[in-house]
Structure 1
Amino acid sequence: MPHMVISYAKPVEKQVDIQKLVQDVWDGANETGLFDPKSIKSRALPVEHFASANGDQLFVHVDAKLFAGRTDAQKQDMNQRVFDKIAALVSDDVAISVEAIDMDTENYLKR
């Protein structure tokens, strides 16, 4: 952990190399020093259909799923690092959000 799940408006692909986005989000999590690099996973999922009060505003959102036990300050640091990595890639009119989500180890299965 963490699993860095990136959701983005598909048109973002016109301005960003998505593989670089995936790598930069991974780098942001890794730079915190909180995780074994082998345990960090980053992936991107395009969203073709979306609606918001802002019409067709493009977005990049990251759900950072991690096992409980990190302090709020540690999670905020990770979120800010990831946010800054994304902001360096996308234009200013793209909405960016990052959320750290604590997971319960008793309810997580992995093979």
Structure 2
Amino acid sequence: MPHCLIEGSSSLTRLIEPAELVRLVDSCATASELFGPGEVKVRLALYEHFSVGGAQKDFVHLIFYILSGRTQAQKVALSRRIVRALVERLPAVNAISLDVRDIERESFSNKRNCMSDS
């Protein structure tokens, strides 16, 4: 199951409701057709204390963890789809970025695969 961690400045809440931001990212990820509906776990952390280029400017950064095996083109398409949507919705925010990271299938554990071991 893919995991998306959204980090941002707490002042973003004057531009977008946190729940809307989570829904936007989730809907973009689902629209990528790399994941099924309800598969993506999206979490949001807003920071009071931060620095962007030495100043307190709004930012959004996402780390998107997916199981290995996707092509580079699929990862680029996912990243660009989500960043474009964020830029459209948050045009006043200059620092918007996303990093797609692979989760090694061989070492990944979750409740389902951990409990099925003998």
TM-score by length of 2: 0.86
1:26 aligns with 26
Q: Whose RCO is larger (CA < 8 A, sep 6+)?
A: 1
In structure 2, stretches of 5+ residues that fail to align are 112-118
Q: RMSD of the alignment, in Å?
A: 1.4
Identity %: 28
AA matched with 1:96 = I
Alignment of 1:62-73 (within 5 A): 62-73=62-73
Structure 1 contact 21–89 (Cα < 8 Å) conserved: no
2:15 aligns with 15
Q: Distance in 2 between matches of 1:80 and 1:66?
A: 15
1:49 aligns with 49
Query: SS at the partner of 1:36?
Result: coil
In structure 1, stretches of 5+ residues that fail to align are none
Q: How many residues align?
A: 111
Q: Distance in 1 between matches of 2:108 and 2:46?
A: 25
Alignment of 1:28-107 (within 5 A): 28-107=28-107
Query: Where does structure 1 differ by over 6 angstroms across 4 or more consecutive aligned residues?
Result: none
Query: SS at the partner of 2:89?
Result: coil
Query: SS at the partner of 1:45?
Result: strand
